[in-house]
Amino acid sequence: MARIRVGIVGYGNLGRGVETALALQEDMELVGVFTRRDPAAVQTLRPGTAVRAITDLETMPGEIDVLVLCGGSKSDLAEQTPQLAGRFTVVDSFDTHVRVPEHFARVDAAARAAGTTAIISTGWDPGLFSINRLFGEAILASGSTYTFWGRGLSQGHSDALRRIDGVAAAVQYTVPSEEAVDRVRAGERPQLSTREKHTRECFVVLEEGADADAVREAIVTMPHYFEPYDTTVTFLDAEELARDHRGMPHGGFVIRSGESSPGTRQTIEYRLQEDSNPEFTASVLVAYARAAVRLDAAGDHGAKTPFDVAPGLLSPKTPEQLRAELL
Amino acid sequence: MARIRVGIVGYGNLGRGVETALALQEDMELVGVFTRRDPAAVQTLRPGTAVRAITDLETMPGEIDVLVLCGGSKSDLAEQTPQLAGRFTVVDSFDTHVRVPEHFARVDAAARAAGTTAIISTGWDPGLFSINRLFGEAILASGSTYTFWGRGLSQGHSDALRRIDGVAAAVQYTVPSEEAVDRVRAGERPQLSTREKHTRECFVVLEEGADADAVREAIVTMPHYFEPYDTTVTFLDAEELARDHRGMPHGGFVIRSGESSPGTRQTIEYRLQEDSNPEFTASVLVAYARAAVRLDAAGDHGAKTPFDVAPGLLSPKTPEQLRAELL
């Protein structure tokens, strides 16, 4: 069978993750990376990867089965996904939760008009976590759903640290409270405040001559970002930061805790532990790219979310194989 | 909107669980329980539940939207599912893994001929665990999948204990080895023998005058059932057994441990903790009954498994609500 021909649009951490993930999928091949930058200036992870200008896509609809869109939700995807869905089957990881309905409507209109398929908001949250929130409440109608994030690197909170006077470099990890997770797992169905659900760990390199106490105070009192949480601040030197905090780990839990009858507790728990958030997200995008091609081939056009995609479409195996091997 | 009209076929633990689960679903209503026994002799859990002879179904296709089949895989479902799919949209929890392909083929032929929809092998294993095995290998193409069962009551192993001379009553729990689960969770990808994955806990009431040591020896040396495992035997009296071991707890883990690139570990873990296995399985069946009705209404006929059902079809919410609230 012909392999699925995939294009990557945008070449940051996520785009590199897709390049890496595709190399593990035998039924898929990478046509190339499409970028707004000068292609000659882009260094790819894998030596054979072609890099082309994004404008080259205009002449290529017949050469590509699906585009994996790897831009950011705010700046890129809101425009790119509807635009490219007008000519290609696409998947994205649009993750601005409140703007999903609007994004869906715009992508759906473009994809229906063009007869293409577009799966939006794939990845892990939105994505796999969303599916587990849905399964949880559909199965345990009487219950509570909890989402915990981490232990994971938060880009937004790391940026907030770096804006503080006296901070030369910093990273911040969001950590689910073990006590809170254990209470939820035990079926207590607690009401949890923001402070009770997560803690924040900051690793900070000071500028020369900076006052550690003042920096620490500025961090733990910062409204919204750190004040509402139990926040720890650890100072370290630039070498230690580079050595011990290079990765982009993330993950978390979705837990549905309910009762099927009075006093009969049932708990569904879904947990991700990611050494690399962008590589994991990319691996999910690639599986949904396969599903998008199959939906398109079946004439099922328009915008979709992970809620609309049958699990079997994600796998390279045939329905017969899946029933025999995995059911 | 009209509520989904549901019939229950078979009224053991699972059928009672479906009766209980339906009471929590506002968009569904129970038409009645259909049994091979004398309906007058069947005591239902809920006072308003109608009980009718299974033969009454012959005149009722217009009054029922979906049948939830609650018989056993060996004796009942192999015959009942294809037969009833010839007149009704149905869901079952057929769980004889090796016979799934054959069961699927027979149900598919009947459902296609009749223009009905039949979702087979719903529940948690097969069912939710199967879906997680599929997601795991589709997303983390390079990796290993582990399924652990328990802590849970095993009917087959409890029966085996009761057949031993000197045993008056007994229950057996299958318990995942904590050490094995931790090794898998940590990304070690170990090769695990049967003995290393699970242990077995036996709670035994002796007959009067029975020799405890002889009974213990007969248990731990029983081939297939107990010899390949680390097995503990606890003797207790009939009152303690009745008080502390009435429930039918179960659950387990599906863990996919893989690498998205060399040295970059990614772990997906799915865990169920069920106070009542039949009530949990029933809750899953009921969600798939809703999906079956929707597939049937959309003209998507024939046999399906959980691999073929988009998650959104399980929820009472509309696609718009799901995107706004759960994505």
Q: Which of A142, A279, A316 sits opposite B261 (nearest CB)?
A: A279
Q: Are A94 and A118 in contact (CB under 8 A)?
A: no
* Residue A15 C-alpha from the chain's centroid: 12
Q: What is the pLDDT of residues A234-268, one digit of tens each?
A: 999 999 999 999 999 999 999 999 999 999 999 99
Question: Which residue of B28, B250, B260, B288 is the best one to mutate when testing the A interface, meaning the one whose CB has the most A CBs within 10 A?
Answer: B260
Say yes or no to pLDDT of B139 above 80: yes
Question: Which residue of B147, B323, B325 is the best one to mutate when testing the A interface, meaning the one whose CB has the most A CBs within 10 A?
Answer: B323
Taking each continuous run of H as one helix and of E as one strand, the counts in chain A are 11, 14
Burial label for A105, CB within 10 Å (0-12, 13-18, 19+), is middle
Kindly determine whether residue B261 and residue A276, on different chains, have CB atoms separated by under 8 Å.
yes
The label of the residue with tokens 């635009």 reads A83
Largest Cα–Cα distance in chain A? 67
Mean pLDDT of chain B: 96
ipTM of the complex: 0.95
Output the pTM of the full model.
0.96
Kindly determine whether residue B283 and residue A271, on different chains, have CB atoms separated by under 8 Å.
no
Q: Which of B187, B260, B305 sits opposite A279 (nearest CB)?
A: B260
Q: What is the pLDDT of residues B198-227, one digit of tens each?
A: 999 999 999 999 999 999 999 999 999 999
**A126 cis-preceded (ω within 30 degrees of 0):** yes
Q: What is the pLDDT of residues B149-173, one digit of tens each?
A: 999 999 889 999 999 999 999 999 9
**B126 cis-preceded (ω within 30 degrees of 0):** yes
pLDDT tier at A1 (50, 70, 90 boundaries)?
low
Q: What is the pLDDT of residues B27-52, one digit of tens each?
A: 999 999 999 999 999 999 999 999 99
Kindly determine whether residue A269 and residue B271, on different chains, have CB atoms separated by under 8 Å.
yes
Identify all chain B residues contacting A264, using CB atoms and an 8 Å cutoff: 275-276, 279
Q: Which two tokens stand for residue A211?
A: 């006052």
What local confidence, expressed as pLDDT, does residue A73 receive? 80
Kindly determine whether residue B126 and residue A327, on different chains, have CB atoms separated by under 8 Å.
yes
What local confidence, expressed as pLDDT, does residue B1 receive? 67
Query: In sequence order, which residues have a C-beta less than 8 Å from that of residue A242 and are 6 or more positions away?
Result: none
What local confidence, expressed as pLDDT, does residue B74 receive? 78
Q: Are B94 and B120 in contact (CB under 8 A)?
A: yes
**A5 cis-preceded (ω within 30 degrees of 0):** no
Among A55, A31, A51, A32, which residue's Cα sits nearest to residue A41? A51
* Residue A307 C-alpha from the chain's centroid: 16
d(C-alpha B55, C-alpha A126), whole Å: 48
Say yes or no to pLDDT of B275 above 70: yes
User: Helix B277-297 and helix B13-22: axis angle, to 10°?
Assistant: 60
Amino acid identity, residue A135? F
Task: Fill in the DSSP letter of residue B10.
Answer: -
Identify all chain A residues contacting B268, using CB atoms and an 8 Å cutoff: 128, 270-272
Q: If you average pLDDT over residues A124-132, what whole number do you get?
A: 97
Mean pLDDT of chain A: 96
Q: Which two tokens stand for residue A220?
A: 């733990």
